Amino acid sequence: MQRIDQLLESVSKASNAMDFCSFWPGDGAQIAGSFIDLDAVECYRGIECLREKMSPKQVAALFPTASFLRYFLTGNYLVGIKIARKQGSLNASSKEVSDNLEFLFDSLDTMTQGDPFCLKGTNPVWNEDESNNLLKESLDSAQNHPRLAPRLIAAAYSLVSSLYYDVYIAGGMEIHGPYPTDSGISLVYEFFDLNPPFWKTQKIMDRLRVIVEYQNTNASIDYFMHPSFSNPAEKKLERWAISTQNNGVWRTLKPNETAHFCTRIENAVIKQTAVVNNLALIDKIRKGAQIVYYQARGVRCAVRNSWEPPPEVLARVDNEGIRVWNKFSGLTDSPPDTNSIYDPRVDFVR
């Protein structure tokens, strides 16, 4: 099976389990539909430039996580390239597009320990030595605080969503694993880049890592970072470890510190969610353009020395943003046809 077929199969499986009406404050088409071709053309040319001077592993370092690169591929990149070629704003052959894509697949391969598209239900980021060492951290028993780690994960997830919007959540989080342990399996929740420059937020931390160990269950992770469990009614949260990083220094939190930390994050979520909800629609879309362009900043700086949306993108948003938002409102109540949308070998885009 070709790698593009593996990607399409994995995306299709993940999409069938998603509610496409629930993205807050809007879905990808609503937020980026007015400038998706401009975004993709710039990224395509950036990848072309990087391929001439960097290895796949070096390019991988421009993306913070494997999930981030996956979201990049199926966010605006593949769809935007198809639209740009159809409109004539990107003069690239099918082979040239495929060569660029294969290079990005090579980059993704260097970021995982197999299963690069989560087709087998895994996202193994750590190698065996890393997982053995980090999973042997001083994990605390969950017996006395069974809800503390889940509460923190939910709060941090909501924080990232309020900063990056639901559809671009990979800009600030990754879930990886599952990793086998002596008594079960572990999943790792990583939260990062929690103070992006396009929001005025109070810094709480640079990074957060939550390791949770379960018994009596198997876990899987799909392409879009949705964890699921084989027997959720019987799974038991056995142990957890929570660490924060500030200025490059990791620190493990104790249960009493974690409860206070949860409250701080929850309060930040309330404030940031209110900020987004109070934005005018056009400003939500403008902010979405900043989120999109910030996320692929490493690639963009290969073309120009800035991650900020260029003037033509902002002009597109101002002129067409609301019309495009309204055009796609209510049109995402079913899973997308992944072949027609993401397959570069198919010209059609809905």
Q: What is the pLDDT of residues 60-74, one digit of tens each?
A: 999 999 999 999 998
Tell me how far apart the alpha carbons of residues 305 and 298 are, in angstroms, rounded to a whole number.
Answer: 10
Domain map of the chain by residue range? Answer: 3-111+282-342, 128-277
The residue among 266 and 344 whose pLDDT is bigger is: 266
Q: Which residues contact 276 (CB under 8 A, 6 or more apart)?
A: 25, 162, 165, 284, 287
Residues contacting residue 215 through CB under 8 Å, at least 6 positions apart: 183, 184, 235, 236, 238
Measure the CA–CA gap between 27 and 329, rounded to whole angstroms. Answer: 9
Rounded CA separation 93/105 (Å) = 18
Cβ proximity of 338 and 15 under 8 Å: yes
* Least confident span in 88-97, 172-181, 276-285: 88-97
For residue 42, pLDDT over 70 is answered with yes
Amino acid (1-letter code) at residue 220: S
Residue with tokens 């924060």: 244
What are the tens digits of pLDDT across the range 172-196? 999 999 999 888 899 999 999 999 9
pLDDT at 156 over 60: yes
User: What is the structure's pLDDT at 340?
Assistant: 76
Using 50, 70 and 90 to split pLDDT, how confident is the model at 298? Answer: confident
> Does an H or E element contain 272, and which?
helix 255-277
Of the candidates 182, 205, 196, 81, the one whose C-alpha atom is nearest the C-alpha of residue 135 is 182
Tally helices (H) and strands (E) across the chain. Answer: 14, 8
**pLDDT score, position 142:** 73
Per-residue pLDDT at 331 exceeds 70? no
With beta carbons less than 8 A apart as the criterion, state whether 46 and 308 touch. Answer: no
What is the per-residue pLDDT for 274? 97
- The answer, yes or no, to whether residue 230 has pLDDT greater than 90, is no
Of the listed ranges 8-17, 86-95, 136-145, 283-292, the one predicted with least confidence: 136-145
Q: For residue 332, what pLDDT band results from cuts at 50, 70 and 90?
A: low
Q: Are 303 and 49 in contact (CB under 8 A)?
A: yes
Give the single-character DSSP code of 333: S
- Per 3-state DSSP, the chain is made up of helix, strand and coil in percentages (nearest 5) of 50, 15, 35
Output the pLDDT for position 1. Answer: 60
